[in-house]
């Protein structure tokens, strides 16, 4: 029951890696110092994006009736 297509997967992986890197690389984290403790939400969101890309399933898409796979 996949609902995440190929292009969507690539975007999720790239954005997920960026979110994790921004939070974990000190030079990048300094750019978002205004977020305070909320900066640690970024790697969690990044990990979820990467996980949904590899599973090809997004629960939010199911709730919203979205399917980026093209044909079923």
Question: DSSP secondary structure string, 24-48?
Answer: HSHHHHGGGGGGGGGGGHHHHHHHH
Given a cut of 70, whether residue 28 has pLDDT beyond it is: yes
Q: Between 53 and 22, where is the model more confident?
A: 53
The answer to whether 22 touches 29, Cβ cutoff 8 Å, is: yes
The model's confidence at residue 62, banded by pLDDT at 50, 70 and 90, is: very high
The model's confidence at residue 71, banded by pLDDT at 50, 70 and 90, is: low
Give the phi and the psi of residue 28 in degrees, each rounded to 5.
-75, -35
Domain ranges, ordered by start, for the chain? 9-64
The model's confidence at residue 72, banded by pLDDT at 50, 70 and 90, is: low
Three-class SS of residue 18? helix
- As a whole number, mean pLDDT of residues 2-31 equals 91
* Sign of the Cα pseudo-torsion (55, 66, 70, 68, in order): negative
């Amino acid at each position: 029951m996949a609902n995440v297509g190929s292009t969507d997967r690539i975007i999720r992986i790239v954005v997920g890696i960026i979110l994790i890197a921004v939070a974990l690389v000190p030079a990048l984290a300094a750019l978002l110092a205004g977020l305070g403790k909320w900066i640690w939400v970024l790697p969690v969101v990044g990990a979820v994006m990467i996980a949904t890309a590899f599973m090809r399933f997004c629960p939010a898409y199911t709730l919203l009736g979205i399917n980026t796979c093209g044909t079923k």
